[in-house]
């Protein structure tokens, strides 16, 4: 590695792991999910256009673009884009100030181009820094808004002559009036349809209907709602729903009336550019937040590239500006419905956009038969799952530093809008971050509390900033007279000059006046960006993605590489905190010789609880150890058995020396299996081959132990040969700490050879 390479910035481009599925691999799930999202998105497109003060058709145009263009360009598997409710207030104001819708379209077109530029500038990294508590708060707030805002449609009450699900405005405005209207009047038919739909979806898995894999419950209740409403029409007229209780799509007479084009003559207007940047920035933040939230909901936990998403959203908004749409973002409501309906790939998003186009052009009369109550029931269940009691209790158990930002985000979104609420929640999260940084600038250890002269060691954290000054000063100036103080800066990549000045003042004045022996170790000559430690994130594997033995072997191999390169992670925890790190199943059980006392967690750079360490002299196993291995895999969940040998094994070397010193002495048990197999012949052994035979027998014993495992445990043999559990032998080179990992493969036949003896 060159000097310039070693001085790269600490934060590098993160490699996003995409487990990737073929677009047409699961059409049985994606097609029904696309239909459901289409049915939910259709009234929302109309409602958001209405709230934005734009032509109703503009909302449908943006819905089509979000499904067809952004759906194709985006790398997200489950995110669905459409008209942005979070931008409706901006659009309403912009249209009024710019005076014409055509001039607004120009601002939207330019805003899309700015988003594309932001994507190429890698601005999407902001999504990686959004705390989980804020994302959970966003989802919970949207869930609450979904539940409360869909109640009028579930009861058949029409508020303010609109069907808008608007979570960009103050949610509590007029809430008392709305509740009064709901209590005063509702459509019985809507209540019946909503109740039946909810019961069907809640108890779907307990009915024979679950056998119909191509028919998700959400699509079933929509079809059922249309059929039941038609039955009401002829048999129970009092329950029949029509007019404002049904979906309403405007009819399009011709393509020309469908499109509106921007007014490029206003391109020099300062206000046009102002709103262009506003749309680009607000829309980008909203999309990134929704994308991160969608990835959290994805059952496969796939990660979507944020920069690619910005480019896709920018192209979509530019196209919308060219043909008469309104701003588009990734939308959590549609996305959560998409995931809930069982979508596996972005095919569902594309299908939803295609159906929007077809419905507007040809199927408006059919789509207009769908009761809004059926769609409301779907959204009610989605909303409940986003903000369930279990989620709230889960966040509460994580502590105040997680729960308060979560709660603040929920309340702020309900009182303001999505973006402002997220910013307020983020501010509260930053407060706890700074507070934690304030109180945790170092690790304190009293190394000899039994002696009269106390020795106190302070290990500084990786980053020591001016925020840590009060805590450092309070600790140092409160140390007892006559103490010995050691400041360890070995793990610090940066120390604020103000903090260094504090150390200097303390050493030269207070320490001398109070007979304090003050020492600083590991301090660098200077702290600047050139001193930062290079972290190549491309080499770091997420522990949660380790599902197969091959992945675990690769994880351990990369960990050892980081050890050899000196990129270790310092872990210091109090005993009461260790249990937090061993709740997950172990990754591997490792058996090494008692001659090898190097710490496995350091050699493999693994986390606490990742490994189950076992010891066996000479790497030879007995029945009890094999049974222990079986329990480690069967009961504790380890998916890899790793036998670890080491160079310079003193136990085996001493056993070989005994043969040279006293050929008639009893043979060591560490050599016996190799002798009985004909691999090693004591009579042919010579002193000059002592080191080579020490290593050869160490490796032979590893292979012999592999066979012992397969012979002694039918369970492990079956699991290993089926690939569910991995079995491998590694070898530590003590000279440089490097561990050799052979290819992982099932062992089905004896592999012991006598070539060495020959």
Q: Which CATH number goes with the domain that contains 622?
A: 3.40.1050.10
Q: What is the pLDDT, as a whole number, of residue 158?
A: 64
The verdict on 270 and 239 lying in the same domain is yes
Give yes or no for residue 755 having a pLDDT over 50.
Answer: no
For 101-149, the pLDDT digits (tens) are 999 999 999 999 999 999 998 887 776 666 778 878 877 887 787 687 7
Q: What is the pLDDT, as a whole number, of residue 380?
A: 82
Band of pLDDT at residue 159, cut at 50, 70 and 90 = low
Q: Which residues constitute the domain of residue 501? A: 442-531
Q: What is the mean pLDDT of residues 472-499?
A: 80
The verdict on 249 and 295 lying in the same domain is yes
Give yes or no for residue 394 having a pLDDT over 80.
Answer: yes
* Number of structural domains found in the chain: 3
Q: What is the pLDDT, as a whole number, of residue 50?
A: 61
Q: What is the pLDDT, as a whole number, of residue 102?
A: 92
The verdict on 98 and 215 lying in the same domain is yes
Band of pLDDT at residue 81, cut at 50, 70 and 90 = very high
The verdict on 615 and 695 lying in the same domain is yes
Six token digits for residue 70? 């952004």
In a domain, residue 213? The reply is: yes
Beta strands in 286-389 (DSSP E): 328-330
CA–CA dist 525, 544 (Å, integer): 39
Give yes or no for residue 4 having a pLDDT over 50.
Answer: no
Q: Which residues pair with 732 in a beta bridge?
A: 646, 739
Band of pLDDT at residue 10, cut at 50, 70 and 90 = very low
CA–CA dist 399, 393 (Å, integer): 10
Q: Closest by alpha carbon to 33, among 274, 299, 365?
A: 299
Residue with more model confidence, 701 or 420? 701
Give yes or no for residue 312 having a pLDDT over 90.
Answer: yes
CA–CA dist 33, 43 (Å, integer): 17
CATH code for the domain in which residue 516 is found: 3.30.750.24
Provide the angle, in degrees to the nearest 10, between the axes of the packed helices 101-120 and 306-323: 160
In a domain, residue 135? The reply is: yes
In a domain, residue 4? The reply is: no
CA–CA dist 672, 190 (Å, integer): 83
324-328, 570-574, 646-650, 733-737, range with the lowest pLDDT: 570-574
| Domain edge (last residue) among 531, 566, 601 | 531
The verdict on 342 and 386 lying in the same domain is yes
Residue with more model confidence, 254 or 80? 80
Helices (H), 99-174: 101-120, 132-155
Give yes or no for residue 315 having a pLDDT over 90.
Answer: yes
In a domain, residue 753? The reply is: no
The verdict on 236 and 368 lying in the same domain is yes
CA–CA dist 354, 366 (Å, integer): 16
Q: What is the pLDDT, as a whole number, of residue 13?
A: 40
The verdict on 524 and 639 lying in the same domain is no
In a domain, residue 475? The reply is: yes
Q: Are 338 and 348 in contact (CB under 8 A)?
A: yes
Give yes or no for residue 419 having a pLDDT over 70.
Answer: no
| Domain edge (last residue) among 499, 531, 563 | 531
Give yes or no for residue 517 having a pLDDT over 70.
Answer: yes
In a domain, residue 405? The reply is: no
The verdict on 454 and 330 lying in the same domain is no
CA–CA dist 419, 332 (Å, integer): 13
The verdict on 113 and 244 lying in the same domain is yes
Average pLDDT of the chain to the nearest whole number: 78
Give yes or no for residue 253 having a pLDDT over 80.
Answer: no
The verdict on 592 and 666 lying in the same domain is yes
For 159, which DSSP code? B
The verdict on 217 and 361 lying in the same domain is yes
In a domain, residue 239? The reply is: yes
116-125, 158-167, 607-616, range with the lowest pLDDT: 158-167
In a domain, residue 537? The reply is: no
Q: What is the mean pLDDT of residues 471-478?
A: 81
Six token digits for residue 411? 């309340």
Q: What is the pLDDT, as a whole number, of residue 69?
A: 93
Residue with more model confidence, 185 or 729? 729
Model confidence pTM above 0.75: no
The verdict on 238 and 207 lying in the same domain is yes
């Amino acid at each position: 590695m060159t000097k310039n390479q070693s001085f790269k910035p600490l934060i590098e481009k993160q490699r996003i792991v995409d487990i990737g599925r073929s677009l047409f691999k699961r059409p049985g799930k994606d097609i029904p999910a696309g239909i459901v999202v289409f049915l939910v998105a259709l009234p929302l497109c109309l409602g958001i256009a209405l709230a934005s003060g734009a032509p109703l058709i503009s909302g449908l145009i943006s819905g089509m673009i979000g499904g067809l263009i952004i759906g194709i360009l985006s790398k997200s598997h489950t995110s669905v884009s459409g008209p942005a409710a979070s931008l409706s207030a901006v659009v309403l104001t912009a249209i009024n100030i710019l005076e014409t819708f055509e001039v607004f379209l120009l601002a939207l077109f330019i805003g899309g181009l700015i988003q594309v530029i932001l994507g190429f500038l890698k601005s999407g990294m902001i999504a990686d820094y959004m705390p989980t508590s804020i994302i959970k708060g966003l989802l919970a707030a949207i869930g609450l808004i979904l539940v409360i805002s869909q109640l009028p449609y579930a009861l058949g009450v029409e508020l303010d002559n609109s069907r808008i699900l608007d979570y960009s405005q103050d949610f509590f405005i007029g809430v008392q009036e709305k509740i009064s209207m709901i209590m005063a009047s509702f459509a019985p038919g809507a209540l019946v349809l909503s109740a039946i739909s909810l019961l069907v979806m809640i108890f779907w898995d307990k009915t024979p209907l679950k056998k119909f894999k191509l028919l998700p419950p959400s699509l079933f209740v929509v079809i059922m709602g249309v059929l039941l409403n038609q039955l009401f029409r002829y048999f129970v007229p009092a329950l029949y729903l029509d007019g404002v209780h049904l979906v309403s799509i405007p009819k399009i007479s011709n393509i020309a009336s469908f499109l509106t084009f921007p007014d490029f003559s206003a391109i020099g207007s300062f206000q046009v550019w102002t709103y262009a940047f506003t749309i680009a920035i607000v829309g980008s933040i909203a999309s990134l937040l929704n994308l991160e939230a969608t990835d959290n909901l994805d059952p496969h936990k796939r990660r979507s590239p944020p920069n690619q998403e910005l480019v896709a959203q920018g192209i979509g908004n530019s196209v919308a500006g060219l043909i008469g749409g309104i701003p588009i973002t990734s939308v959590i409501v549609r996305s959560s419905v998409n995931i809930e309906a069982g979508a596996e790939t972005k095919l569902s998003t594309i299908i939803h956009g295609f159906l929007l186009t077809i419905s507007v052009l040809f199927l408006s009369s059919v789509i207009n038969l769908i009761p809004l109550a059926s769609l409301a029931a779907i959204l009610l269940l989605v909303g409940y799952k986003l903000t369930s009691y279990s989620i709230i209790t889960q966040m509460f158990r994580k502590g105040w530093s997680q729960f308060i930002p979560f709660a603040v985000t929920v309340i702020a979104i309900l009182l303001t809008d999505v973006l402002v609420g997220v910013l307020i929640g983020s501010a509260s999260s930053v407060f706890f971050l700074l507070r934690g940084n304030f109180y945790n600038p170092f690790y304190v250890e009293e190394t000899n509390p039994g002696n009269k002269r106390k020795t106190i060691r302070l290990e500084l954290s990786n980053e020591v900033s001016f925020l840590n000054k009060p805590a450092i000063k309070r600790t140092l100036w409160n140390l007892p007279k006559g103490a010995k103080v050691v400041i360890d800066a070995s793990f610090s990549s940066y120390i604020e000059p103000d903090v260094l000045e504090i150390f200097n003042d303390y050493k030269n004045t207070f320490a001398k006046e109070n007979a304090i022996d003050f020492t600083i170790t590991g301090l660098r000559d200077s702290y600047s960006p050139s001193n930062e430690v290079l972290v190549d994130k491309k080499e770091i594997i997420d522990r949660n993605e380790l599902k197969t033995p091959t992945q675990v072997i690769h994880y351990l191999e990369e960990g050892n590489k980081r050890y050899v390169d000196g990129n270790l992670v310092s872990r210091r925890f109090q005993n009461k905190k260790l249990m937090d790190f061993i709740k997950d199943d172990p990754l591997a059980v490792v058996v090494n010789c008692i001659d090898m006392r190097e710490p496995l967690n350091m050699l493999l750079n693994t986390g606490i609880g990742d490994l189950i360490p076992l010891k066996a002299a000479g790497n030879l196993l007995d029945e009890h150890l094999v049974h222990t291995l079986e329990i480690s895999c069967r009961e504790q969940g380890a998916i890899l058995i790793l036998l670890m040998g080491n160079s310079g094994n003193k136990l085996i070397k001493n056993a070989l020396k005994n043969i040279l010193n006293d050929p008639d002495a009893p043979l060591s048990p560490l050599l016996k299996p190799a002798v009985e197999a004909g691999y090693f012949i004591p009579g042919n052994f010579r002193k000059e081959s002592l080191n080579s035979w020490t290593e050869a027998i160490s490796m032979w014993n590893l292979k012999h132990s592999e066979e012992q495992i397969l012979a002694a445990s039918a369970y492990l043999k079956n699991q290993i040969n089926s690939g569910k559990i991995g079995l491998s032998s590694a070898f530590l080179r003590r000279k440089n700490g490097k561990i050799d990992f052979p290819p992982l493969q099932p062992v089905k036949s004896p592999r012991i050879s006598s070539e060495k003896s020959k």
